[in-house]
Amino acid sequence: MLSIENKVIQVREKTAAVLEEMMISQKLALQALRACDEQSFEQAKIPLKSIDKKVEEIDNLVLTAFVRFSPEAKDLREMVAFLKITSSLQRIASNETNYIKNMKICNPKADPEIKRIIKESLSINQCTIQAMNYTIEMIHETEDKNKLLDLESKIDVEFSKTDDIYSMLEKDVLQIMHQTHEVNDEFINLLKYIRKNMKIIDRLQDIASKLIFARIGGKL
């Protein structure tokens, strides 16, 4: 017999599965950028193609739980949190899709300095993948409050790392343009693409805060 507990478990598992698909996409994009291979970018898009459908399934599960079981207390917090988490998942998918599309500027014919900046930016992708791992752990951790808070803190650390990496990249690009005495649109656009990729961890922080609300309480 179906119960609210079953629905909650299904929602958790499907949400974690979506994040795992996004993490696969991030890893494939990282490989493509390391190789600077245009064709590999198409592979990185594949895991993202069914995200909208899967997110819609999560929303439907949550709404069904509201209608059939009228959840209360902890179950209610969990369902409300996941209903909001799906919006963050859609934004992450959009960020990833746009990032992969734009980073096709990394190709064998690209300016060597562009390729160098891209390779130096890949630490941001690694931080993003690690933050996704921590977020998936948070979804599965339902009892240990200290571990949940520790995982949330680790996601914040990964975000802080990306901020530092981006600041160094920006300084590097500005120095290049100062030396050449010209504003290079290609470098400016590259920084813009990297910033958009950084927004993924920002979304993961948002998901983490909603999971804290679901499991511990507080403000959403």
Query: Is the predicted pLDDT of residue 118 greater than 70, yes or no?
Result: yes
Beta-carbon neighbour count of residue 61 at 10 Å? 18
In whole angstroms, give the CA distance from residue 17 to residue 110: 35
Alpha helices in the chain (DSSP H): 4-35, 38-45, 51-69, 73-102, 112-140, 145-180, 185-215
Average pLDDT over residues 76-86: 93
CATH number of residue 28's parent domain? 1.20.58.220
More confidently predicted of 109 and 140? 140
pLDDT one-digit tens code per residue, 151-175: 999 999 999 999 999 999 999 999 9
Query: Is the predicted pLDDT of residue 38 greater than 80, yes or no?
Result: no
Give the pLDDT of residue 177.
86
Average pLDDT over residues 76-92: 94
The percent of residues in the chain predicted with pLDDT above 70, rounded, is: 98
Query: Is the predicted pLDDT of residue 1 greater than 70, yes or no?
Result: no
Residue 92 counted as domain residue: yes
Radius of gyration of the chain (CA): 19
In whole angstroms, give the CA distance from residue 182 to residue 13: 51
- CA of residue 59 relative to chain centroid, distance: 19
Task: Give the global pTM.
Answer: 0.93
Residue 41 counted as domain residue: yes
Residue 100 counted as domain residue: yes
Give the pLDDT of residue 74.
86
Residue 220 counted as domain residue: no
- Total domains in the fold of the chain: 1
CB-based contacts of 218, cutoff 8 Å, min separation 6: 212
Q: Which phi and psi angles does 34 have, rounded to 5°?
A: -65, -40
Beta-carbon neighbour count of residue 127 at 10 Å? 23
Choose among 45, 50, 51: nearest CA to 32: 45
Residue 63, by phi and psi: left (phi above 0), alpha (psi -120 to 50) or beta?
A: alpha
Residue 152 corresponds to which tokens in the numbers above? Answer: 């949330």
> If you search the block for the tokens 């977020």, which residue do you land on?
135
CA distances from 144 to 105, 139, 151, 154, 212 (A): 44, 12, 11, 15, 11
Give the pLDDT of residue 14.
97
Query: Is the predicted pLDDT of residue 219 greater than 70, yes or no?
Result: no
pLDDT one-digit tens code per residue, 47-69: 999 999 999 999 999 999 888 88
Average pLDDT over residues 178-185: 83
Average pLDDT over residues 37-53: 90
Choose among 199, 196, 191: nearest CA to 174: 191
Residue 155 counted as domain residue: yes
| Residue-number span of the structural domain to which 194 is assigned | 4-215
Give the pLDDT of residue 70.
83
